[in-house]
A and B are shown apart, each in its own frame.
Chain A
Amino acid sequence: MGRVERIWVYLSATPLLWLAATLVAFEAGSWIFRRSGGRALANPVPIAVAIVILLLRLTGTPYETYFEGAQFVHFLLGPATVALAVPLYQNRARVREALVPMLSALAAGSATAIVSAVLLAKALGASTETLRSIAPKSATTPIAMAVSEQLGGFPSLTAAFVIATGITGAVIVTPLLDALRIRDWRGRGFSAGVAAHGLGTARAFQVNELAGTFAGLGLALNGIATAVLAPILFRFFR
Protein backbone atom coordinates (compact mmCIF):
# COMPACT_ATOMS: atom_id res chain seq x y z
CA MET A 1 0.00 0.00 0.00
CA GLY A 2 1.34 3.41 -0.97
CA ARG A 3 1.82 6.25 1.46
CA VAL A 4 -1.09 8.31 0.12
CA GLU A 5 -3.37 5.29 0.26
CA ARG A 6 -2.41 4.65 3.90
CA ILE A 7 -3.22 8.24 4.80
CA TRP A 8 -6.54 7.92 2.94
CA VAL A 9 -7.42 4.69 4.79
CA TYR A 10 -6.69 6.42 8.10
CA LEU A 11 -8.57 9.62 7.32
CA SER A 12 -11.59 7.95 5.74
CA ALA A 13 -12.13 6.03 8.99
CA THR A 14 -12.41 9.15 11.18
CA PRO A 15 -15.43 11.47 11.37
CA LEU A 16 -13.10 14.44 10.75
CA LEU A 17 -12.84 13.98 6.99
CA TRP A 18 -16.54 14.06 6.10
CA LEU A 19 -17.37 16.65 8.73
CA ALA A 20 -14.78 18.94 7.15
CA ALA A 21 -16.00 18.02 3.65
CA THR A 22 -19.58 19.00 4.61
CA LEU A 23 -18.43 22.40 5.88
CA VAL A 24 -16.15 23.05 2.90
CA ALA A 25 -18.92 22.08 0.45
CA PHE A 26 -21.31 24.45 2.24
CA GLU A 27 -18.74 27.27 2.17
CA ALA A 28 -18.36 26.66 -1.57
CA GLY A 29 -22.16 26.74 -1.96
CA SER A 30 -22.35 29.99 0.04
CA TRP A 31 -19.58 31.50 -2.06
CA ILE A 32 -21.48 30.70 -5.27
CA PHE A 33 -24.67 32.05 -3.63
CA ARG A 34 -22.94 35.36 -2.78
CA ARG A 35 -21.22 35.60 -6.16
CA SER A 36 -24.61 35.24 -7.86
CA GLY A 37 -25.77 38.27 -5.85
CA GLY A 38 -27.87 36.20 -3.42
CA ARG A 39 -30.08 34.72 -6.12
CA ALA A 40 -32.59 32.20 -4.77
CA LEU A 41 -31.74 29.75 -7.57
CA ALA A 42 -28.16 29.48 -6.31
CA ASN A 43 -29.25 28.26 -2.84
CA PRO A 44 -26.18 26.93 -0.98
CA VAL A 45 -27.90 23.72 0.22
CA PRO A 46 -28.46 21.97 -3.16
CA ILE A 47 -24.98 23.08 -4.29
CA ALA A 48 -23.34 21.65 -1.15
CA VAL A 49 -25.42 18.44 -1.42
CA ALA A 50 -24.35 17.99 -5.06
CA ILE A 51 -20.67 18.54 -4.21
CA VAL A 52 -20.74 16.02 -1.35
CA ILE A 53 -22.63 13.40 -3.42
CA LEU A 54 -20.06 13.81 -6.18
CA LEU A 55 -17.20 13.33 -3.68
CA LEU A 56 -18.86 10.24 -2.18
CA ARG A 57 -19.35 8.77 -5.68
CA LEU A 58 -15.76 9.49 -6.74
CA THR A 59 -14.28 7.92 -3.61
CA GLY A 60 -16.81 5.06 -3.42
CA THR A 61 -17.75 6.05 0.15
CA PRO A 62 -21.05 4.68 1.51
CA TYR A 63 -23.58 7.09 3.05
CA GLU A 64 -23.18 5.45 6.48
CA THR A 65 -19.45 6.33 6.58
CA TYR A 66 -20.26 9.87 5.48
CA PHE A 67 -22.91 10.24 8.16
CA GLU A 68 -20.49 9.26 10.95
CA GLY A 69 -18.80 12.59 10.32
CA ALA A 70 -21.81 14.62 9.21
CA GLN A 71 -23.92 13.60 12.22
CA PHE A 72 -22.32 16.38 14.28
CA VAL A 73 -23.84 18.94 11.93
CA HIS A 74 -27.10 17.00 11.61
CA PHE A 75 -27.44 16.83 15.40
CA LEU A 76 -27.67 20.63 15.69
CA LEU A 77 -31.05 20.57 13.89
CA GLY A 78 -32.66 19.66 17.24
CA PRO A 79 -31.35 22.60 19.30
CA ALA A 80 -31.86 24.92 16.29
CA THR A 81 -35.55 23.95 16.22
CA VAL A 82 -35.80 24.72 19.95
CA ALA A 83 -34.05 28.06 19.28
CA LEU A 84 -36.99 29.09 17.05
CA ALA A 85 -38.72 29.96 20.35
CA VAL A 86 -36.50 33.07 20.66
CA PRO A 87 -37.69 34.99 17.54
CA LEU A 88 -41.17 33.67 18.27
CA TYR A 89 -41.02 35.23 21.74
CA GLN A 90 -39.54 38.51 20.52
CA ASN A 91 -42.23 38.86 17.84
CA ARG A 92 -45.10 37.48 19.93
CA ALA A 93 -47.29 40.59 19.61
CA ARG A 94 -47.22 40.42 15.81
CA VAL A 95 -47.85 36.67 15.89
CA ARG A 96 -50.94 37.17 18.08
CA GLU A 97 -52.26 39.79 15.65
CA ALA A 98 -51.92 37.37 12.74
CA LEU A 99 -53.49 34.31 14.36
CA VAL A 100 -56.63 34.18 12.18
CA PRO A 101 -54.90 34.62 8.79
CA MET A 102 -52.25 32.10 9.90
CA LEU A 103 -54.68 29.36 10.83
CA SER A 104 -56.78 29.91 7.67
CA ALA A 105 -53.67 29.76 5.49
CA LEU A 106 -52.48 26.67 7.36
CA ALA A 107 -55.68 24.69 6.69
CA ALA A 108 -55.66 25.59 2.98
CA GLY A 109 -51.91 25.10 2.54
CA SER A 110 -51.62 21.81 4.40
CA ALA A 111 -54.50 20.24 2.43
CA THR A 112 -53.05 21.55 -0.86
CA ALA A 113 -49.64 20.03 -0.07
CA ILE A 114 -51.05 16.56 0.57
CA VAL A 115 -53.76 16.37 -2.12
CA SER A 116 -51.79 17.94 -4.97
CA ALA A 117 -48.71 15.74 -4.41
CA VAL A 118 -50.72 12.50 -4.34
CA LEU A 119 -52.98 13.44 -7.29
CA LEU A 120 -50.09 14.53 -9.52
CA ALA A 121 -47.94 11.50 -8.74
CA LYS A 122 -50.93 9.20 -9.28
CA ALA A 123 -51.88 10.84 -12.60
CA LEU A 124 -48.31 10.32 -13.84
CA GLY A 125 -48.29 6.65 -12.89
CA ALA A 126 -46.27 6.53 -9.65
CA SER A 127 -46.34 3.29 -7.64
CA THR A 128 -48.62 2.88 -4.60
CA GLU A 129 -45.61 2.96 -2.23
CA THR A 130 -44.50 6.26 -3.75
CA LEU A 131 -48.00 7.75 -3.30
CA ARG A 132 -48.10 6.72 0.35
CA SER A 133 -44.60 8.03 0.95
CA ILE A 134 -45.10 11.37 -0.85
CA ALA A 135 -48.34 12.45 0.91
CA PRO A 136 -46.66 14.03 4.00
CA LYS A 137 -43.73 15.56 2.00
CA SER A 138 -44.24 19.16 3.23
CA ALA A 139 -44.08 18.25 6.94
CA THR A 140 -40.85 18.32 8.93
CA THR A 141 -38.88 15.03 8.61
CA PRO A 142 -39.73 13.25 11.91
CA ILE A 143 -43.48 13.92 11.53
CA ALA A 144 -43.46 13.06 7.81
CA MET A 145 -41.73 9.73 8.50
CA ALA A 146 -44.24 8.80 11.21
CA VAL A 147 -47.18 9.69 8.94
CA SER A 148 -45.67 7.72 6.05
CA GLU A 149 -45.41 4.65 8.24
CA GLN A 150 -49.03 5.06 9.31
CA LEU A 151 -50.14 5.24 5.64
CA GLY A 152 -48.08 2.17 4.70
CA GLY A 153 -45.28 4.01 2.88
CA PHE A 154 -41.49 3.82 3.30
CA PRO A 155 -40.29 6.31 5.96
CA SER A 156 -36.78 6.53 4.48
CA LEU A 157 -38.19 7.28 1.02
CA THR A 158 -40.40 9.92 2.64
CA ALA A 159 -37.27 11.51 4.15
CA ALA A 160 -35.88 11.83 0.60
CA PHE A 161 -39.13 13.47 -0.63
CA VAL A 162 -39.14 15.83 2.36
CA ILE A 163 -35.61 17.00 1.52
CA ALA A 164 -36.42 17.34 -2.19
CA THR A 165 -39.49 19.40 -1.24
CA GLY A 166 -37.43 21.59 1.10
CA ILE A 167 -34.78 22.27 -1.55
CA THR A 168 -37.47 23.04 -4.16
CA GLY A 169 -39.26 25.35 -1.75
CA ALA A 170 -36.09 27.20 -0.72
CA VAL A 171 -35.27 27.79 -4.39
CA ILE A 172 -38.72 28.85 -5.65
CA VAL A 173 -40.31 30.84 -2.78
CA THR A 174 -38.71 34.21 -3.51
CA PRO A 175 -39.37 34.37 -7.28
CA LEU A 176 -42.83 32.79 -6.88
CA LEU A 177 -43.99 35.19 -4.14
CA ASP A 178 -42.55 38.14 -6.07
CA ALA A 179 -44.52 37.05 -9.14
CA LEU A 180 -47.69 36.81 -7.01
CA ARG A 181 -46.92 40.31 -5.63
CA ILE A 182 -47.05 39.19 -1.99
CA ARG A 183 -45.03 41.69 0.04
CA ASP A 184 -46.15 41.02 3.61
CA TRP A 185 -43.15 39.37 5.33
CA ARG A 186 -45.49 37.44 7.61
CA GLY A 187 -47.38 35.73 4.78
CA ARG A 188 -44.20 35.20 2.76
CA GLY A 189 -42.42 33.49 5.65
CA PHE A 190 -45.43 31.51 6.78
CA SER A 191 -45.99 30.01 3.32
CA ALA A 192 -42.29 29.04 3.10
CA GLY A 193 -42.51 27.19 6.43
CA VAL A 194 -45.80 25.44 5.61
CA ALA A 195 -44.68 24.29 2.13
CA ALA A 196 -40.99 23.63 2.75
CA HIS A 197 -40.50 23.09 6.53
CA GLY A 198 -36.98 23.78 7.87
CA LEU A 199 -35.36 24.51 4.51
CA GLY A 200 -38.08 27.06 3.74
CA THR A 201 -37.52 28.51 7.22
CA ALA A 202 -33.75 28.69 6.67
CA ARG A 203 -34.38 30.52 3.39
CA ALA A 204 -36.80 32.93 5.12
CA PHE A 205 -34.20 33.76 7.80
CA GLN A 206 -31.71 34.60 5.02
CA VAL A 207 -34.11 37.26 3.78
CA ASN A 208 -35.85 38.77 6.83
CA GLU A 209 -36.14 37.97 10.54
CA LEU A 210 -39.92 38.48 10.74
CA ALA A 211 -40.35 36.17 7.71
CA GLY A 212 -38.13 33.61 9.48
CA THR A 213 -40.25 33.79 12.64
CA PHE A 214 -43.46 33.15 10.70
CA ALA A 215 -41.75 30.39 8.72
CA GLY A 216 -40.82 28.66 11.99
CA LEU A 217 -44.47 28.81 13.02
CA GLY A 218 -45.53 27.46 9.62
CA LEU A 219 -43.09 24.56 10.01
CA ALA A 220 -44.36 23.65 13.50
CA LEU A 221 -48.06 24.10 12.69
CA ASN A 222 -47.92 22.21 9.38
CA GLY A 223 -46.16 19.32 11.11
CA ILE A 224 -49.15 19.01 13.41
CA ALA A 225 -51.72 19.66 10.64
CA THR A 226 -50.16 17.01 8.36
CA ALA A 227 -50.22 14.42 11.15
CA VAL A 228 -53.97 15.05 11.50
CA LEU A 229 -54.98 15.64 7.84
CA ALA A 230 -52.88 13.15 5.85
CA PRO A 231 -54.49 9.95 7.22
CA ILE A 232 -57.99 11.46 6.69
CA LEU A 233 -57.35 12.81 3.17
CA PHE A 234 -55.43 9.73 2.04
CA ARG A 235 -58.52 7.56 2.50
CA PHE A 236 -60.05 9.17 -0.59
CA PHE A 237 -57.22 7.92 -2.82
CA ARG A 238 -57.36 4.22 -2.08
Chain B
Amino acid sequence: MVTALTLLLCCQLAGEFSARVLGLPIPGPVLGMLLLFALLLGRSRILEPVREPSYALLRHLSLLFVPAGVGLIRHTGRLRAELWPILVAVVISTAATVAVTALVFQLVAGAGKGER
Protein backbone atom coordinates (compact mmCIF):
# COMPACT_ATOMS: atom_id res chain seq x y z
CA MET B 1 0.00 0.00 0.00
CA VAL B 2 2.73 2.47 1.03
CA THR B 3 4.96 1.37 -1.87
CA ALA B 4 2.09 1.92 -4.30
CA LEU B 5 1.19 5.34 -2.88
CA THR B 6 4.84 6.40 -2.99
CA LEU B 7 5.15 5.32 -6.60
CA LEU B 8 1.88 7.00 -7.65
CA LEU B 9 2.75 10.27 -5.89
CA CYS B 10 6.32 10.31 -7.23
CA CYS B 11 5.05 9.76 -10.80
CA GLN B 12 2.55 12.60 -10.30
CA LEU B 13 5.27 14.83 -8.90
CA ALA B 14 7.59 14.06 -11.81
CA GLY B 15 4.65 14.74 -14.15
CA GLU B 16 3.86 18.12 -12.55
CA PHE B 17 7.54 19.02 -12.63
CA SER B 18 8.11 18.15 -16.29
CA ALA B 19 4.84 19.80 -17.41
CA ARG B 20 6.04 23.08 -15.87
CA VAL B 21 9.67 22.84 -16.93
CA LEU B 22 8.77 21.94 -20.53
CA GLY B 23 5.79 24.35 -20.59
CA LEU B 24 3.44 21.60 -21.82
CA PRO B 25 -0.35 22.22 -21.78
CA ILE B 26 -0.86 18.67 -20.41
CA PRO B 27 -1.76 18.23 -16.70
CA GLY B 28 0.89 16.74 -14.41
CA PRO B 29 -1.18 13.65 -13.44
CA VAL B 30 -1.69 12.74 -17.14
CA LEU B 31 2.09 12.92 -17.71
CA GLY B 32 2.51 10.94 -14.47
CA MET B 33 0.23 8.24 -15.91
CA LEU B 34 2.39 8.03 -19.05
CA LEU B 35 5.50 7.84 -16.87
CA LEU B 36 4.11 5.00 -14.75
CA PHE B 37 3.08 3.20 -17.96
CA ALA B 38 6.65 3.54 -19.28
CA LEU B 39 8.04 2.28 -15.94
CA LEU B 40 5.75 -0.76 -16.08
CA LEU B 41 6.86 -1.50 -19.64
CA GLY B 42 10.49 -1.30 -18.51
CA ARG B 43 10.17 -3.26 -15.26
CA SER B 44 7.15 -5.53 -15.07
CA ARG B 45 7.89 -6.53 -11.47
CA ILE B 46 6.65 -3.15 -10.15
CA LEU B 47 3.16 -4.21 -11.29
CA GLU B 48 2.72 -6.49 -8.26
CA PRO B 49 2.91 -3.78 -5.54
CA VAL B 50 0.89 -1.11 -7.46
CA ARG B 51 -1.84 -3.30 -8.94
CA GLU B 52 -4.31 -3.74 -6.08
CA PRO B 53 -4.04 -0.23 -4.58
CA SER B 54 -4.46 1.27 -8.07
CA TYR B 55 -7.64 -0.68 -8.74
CA ALA B 56 -8.86 0.24 -5.25
CA LEU B 57 -8.48 3.94 -6.13
CA LEU B 58 -10.10 3.50 -9.55
CA ARG B 59 -13.08 1.62 -8.12
CA HIS B 60 -13.85 4.73 -6.05
CA LEU B 61 -13.07 7.27 -8.75
CA SER B 62 -16.64 8.67 -8.68
CA LEU B 63 -16.31 9.75 -5.03
CA LEU B 64 -13.28 11.89 -5.86
CA PHE B 65 -15.41 14.16 -8.08
CA VAL B 66 -17.88 15.15 -5.36
CA PRO B 67 -15.90 18.17 -4.01
CA ALA B 68 -15.45 19.59 -7.54
CA GLY B 69 -19.13 18.95 -8.26
CA VAL B 70 -20.17 20.91 -5.18
CA GLY B 71 -18.13 23.77 -6.72
CA LEU B 72 -21.11 24.33 -9.05
CA ILE B 73 -22.63 26.50 -6.28
CA ARG B 74 -20.03 29.17 -6.93
CA HIS B 75 -21.62 29.86 -10.32
CA THR B 76 -25.32 29.81 -9.49
CA GLY B 77 -25.74 33.40 -10.73
CA ARG B 78 -24.66 32.80 -14.30
CA LEU B 79 -26.02 29.26 -14.41
CA ARG B 80 -29.45 30.65 -13.50
CA ALA B 81 -29.23 33.65 -15.87
CA GLU B 82 -28.26 31.50 -18.87
CA LEU B 83 -29.88 28.27 -17.73
CA TRP B 84 -31.42 27.16 -21.03
CA PRO B 85 -28.52 27.83 -23.41
CA ILE B 86 -26.11 26.17 -20.94
CA LEU B 87 -28.33 23.19 -20.15
CA VAL B 88 -29.20 22.47 -23.79
CA ALA B 89 -25.59 22.95 -24.96
CA VAL B 90 -24.15 20.68 -22.24
CA VAL B 91 -26.72 17.88 -22.53
CA ILE B 92 -27.11 17.74 -26.34
CA SER B 93 -23.40 18.29 -27.03
CA THR B 94 -22.38 15.57 -24.54
CA ALA B 95 -24.86 13.12 -26.04
CA ALA B 96 -23.71 14.00 -29.58
CA THR B 97 -20.05 13.49 -28.55
CA VAL B 98 -20.74 10.07 -27.01
CA ALA B 99 -22.72 9.00 -30.10
CA VAL B 100 -20.24 10.29 -32.71
CA THR B 101 -17.19 8.85 -30.87
CA ALA B 102 -18.77 5.43 -30.35
CA LEU B 103 -20.18 5.21 -33.90
CA VAL B 104 -16.88 6.19 -35.55
CA PHE B 105 -15.02 3.71 -33.31
CA GLN B 106 -17.43 0.94 -34.27
CA LEU B 107 -17.34 1.84 -37.97
CA VAL B 108 -13.53 1.84 -38.15
CA ALA B 109 -13.06 -1.21 -35.90
CA GLY B 110 -15.41 -3.09 -38.24
CA ALA B 111 -18.94 -3.91 -37.12
CA GLY B 112 -19.24 -7.22 -35.31
CA LYS B 113 -15.53 -7.80 -34.83
CA GLY B 114 -15.41 -6.27 -31.36
CA GLU B 115 -15.66 -7.84 -27.91
CA ARG B 116 -19.10 -8.73 -26.73
Seen from chain A, the residues whose Cβ lies within 8 Å of a Cβ on chain B are 22-23, 25-26, 43-46, 48-49, 52-53, 56-57, 63, 66-67, 70-71, 73-74, 76-90, 92, 98, 100-102, 104-106, 108-109, 112-113, 116-118, 120-121, 124-127, 130, 134, 137-138, 140-143, 146-147, 156-157, 159-161, 163-170, 172-173, 176-177, 180, 182-188, 190-192, 194-196, 198-199, 201-203, 205-206, 210, 212, 216, 218, 220, 223-224, 227
How many A-B contacts are there with CB distance less than 8 Å? Answer: 330
Nearest residue, chain A, Cβ from B101:
A109
Q: Are A117 and B33 in contact (CB under 8 A)?
A: no
Q: How many residues of B contact A (CB 8 A)?
A: 75
- Tell me whether A120 and B102 are in contact in the complex, defined as CB-CB below 8 angstroms, given that A130-B82, A157-B78 are known contacts: no
Q: Are A82 and B15 in contact (CB under 8 A)?
A: yes
Nearest residue, chain B, Cβ from A117:
B93
Q: Are A26 and B63 in contact (CB under 8 A)?
A: yes
- A97 smallest CB distance to B (angstroms): 9
User: What residues of B have a CB within 8 angstroms of the CB of A176 in the complex?
Assistant: 95, 98-99
User: What residues of A have a CB within 8 angstroms of the CB of B94 in the complex?
Assistant: 113, 138, 165, 168-169, 172, 195-196
Partner of A137, one of B11, B28, B58, B90: B90
Q: Are B66 and A172 in contact (CB under 8 A)?
A: no
Inter-chain CA distance A212–B61, complex, in Å, is 11
Partner of A186, one of B5, B40, B54, B114: B114
- Tell me whether A157 and B75 are in contact in the complex, defined as CB-CB below 8 angstroms, given that A126-B86, A163-B65, A176-B99 are known contacts: yes
Q: Are A184 and B27 in contact (CB under 8 A)?
A: no
B57 within 8 A of A: yes
Q: Are A126 and B89 in contact (CB under 8 A)?
A: yes
Q: Are B36 and A85 in contact (CB under 8 A)?
A: yes
- Please provide the 7 A-B residue pairs with the shortest distance between their CB atoms, ordered closest to farther: A184-B114, A109-B101, A70-B67, A81-B29, A187-B105, A124-B85, A83-B54
Q: Are B33 and A82 in contact (CB under 8 A)?
A: yes
Q: Are B26 and A227 in contact (CB under 8 A)?
A: yes
B80 within 8 A of A: no
Inter-chain CA distance A210–B9, complex, in Å, is 24
A-B contact pairs, 11 of them (CB 8 A): A48-B66, A82-B11, A83-B33, A105-B104, A127-B82, A157-B75, A159-B68, A169-B94, A177-B102, A195-B101, A224-B26
